[in-house]
Amino acid sequence: MINPQLNAQGELIHLLTTEGLSRKILTQILDRAADFVKDGELVNQKFTDLAGTSVFNLFFENSTRTRTTFEIAAKRLSADVSSLNIQASSTAKGETLLDTIHNLEAMGANLFVVRHSESGAAHLIARHVKPGVSVVNAGDGRHAHPTQAMLDMFTIRHYKQDFTKLRVAIVGDILHSRVARSQIHALSTLGCPEIRVIAPKTLLPTAVEQLGVHVYHDMAEGLKDVDVVAMLRLQNERMSGAYLPSTQEFFKYYGLTEEKLALAKPDAIVMHPGPMNRGVEIDSVVADGKQAVILPQVTFGIAVRMAVLSIVTANQRSAKQ
């Protein structure tokens, strides 16, 4: 089957999902991101990879980390960056998504970074942009959040080096989580031998085992001897009914506390994509504790987004020559 993210040479020109991407491409993103990081910090230098490239950030849904780090990443690569204020744009007057895209293309857009509440929005745009224009998915509905997953992979590789020796637990609202889906695809492609999901039955997709994960409903069992604990936010905005008796009850059974974390390996790292609900999915003592790598995740997010922007732009340019 043709992968809409790749050109005829099999190179990445859009990043829409981690699903179906090869280990070679995922590793290319991680290795390129590593060029922008030294001793765990972002290299303080401007690059010219995106000089002459016009990047439009289109965030139809709220964001702090993804929006800001994409903006920083594009500027670090010398792109011309425009961030549309969606509330004040003509979509608020009824203009369709594709009409907005075509108008921005008429202004010279080369690359769109898109967050949307509808699953499939980034794929739709990628199908309709002009040849040579790239689309990077910054999160679509419950479907995918590929750059979040790749910054999580970068973080794991930074602290743990070898994916093929790891036991990773993803904890919380798997059902509504685009992050979990993208993490699972990336982890399995990168060779992680044991991916666990820990959640109440009401917050798990049906047939989740088909993704190759081990399912746990009990934190004490699921966290035992894991190397990585990847917490998720309760996606209240995507819940239409009652999935939980209460947030207090959720915290009691699935919130990450020091006591529960003690069941993981002593050097286990704790990740969270943010925004965090302290006291709901994670206790502040853990969120701010020694094992948490939540803020490094944000820093690495800039490097990973720089890598993605740089790779898709280089592949589009080489196809033109």
The contact mask relative to ligand CP for 16-55 (x = CB under 6 A, - = no) is ----------------------------------------
Site for ligand CP in 175-194 (CB under 6 A): none
Choices 11-19, 103-111, 273-281, 302-310; region in contact with ligand CP by CB under 6 A: 273-281
CA 81 distance to own-chain centroid:
21
C-alpha to C-alpha distances, 123 to 33, 36, 157, nearest whole angstrom: 24, 28, 28
Minimum gap (Å) between residue 87 Cβ and ligand CP? 16
The contact mask relative to ligand CP for 122-151 (x = CB under 6 A, - = no) is -----------------x--------x---
Nearest to 55 by CA among 126, 108, 129: 108
Nearer to ligand CP (CB atom), residue 146 or residue 222: 146
Minimum gap (Å) between residue 152 Cβ and ligand CP? 10
Q: Is 275 a residue that touches ligand CP (CB under 6 A)?
A: yes
User: Please, are residues 280 and 251 in contact by the beta-carbon 8 Å criterion?
Assistant: yes
Q: Is 274 a residue that touches ligand CP (CB under 6 A)?
A: yes
CA dist 199 and 147 (Å) reads 24
Minimum gap (Å) between residue 318 Cβ and ligand CP? 30
User: Please, are residues 224 and 184 in contact by the beta-carbon 8 Å criterion?
Assistant: no
Nearest to 54 by CA among 2, 4, 129: 129
Minimum gap (Å) between residue 277 Cβ and ligand CP? 13
Nearest to 222 by CA among 243, 244, 189, 199: 199
Interaction site with ligand CP (CB under 6 A): 63-67, 139, 148, 273-275
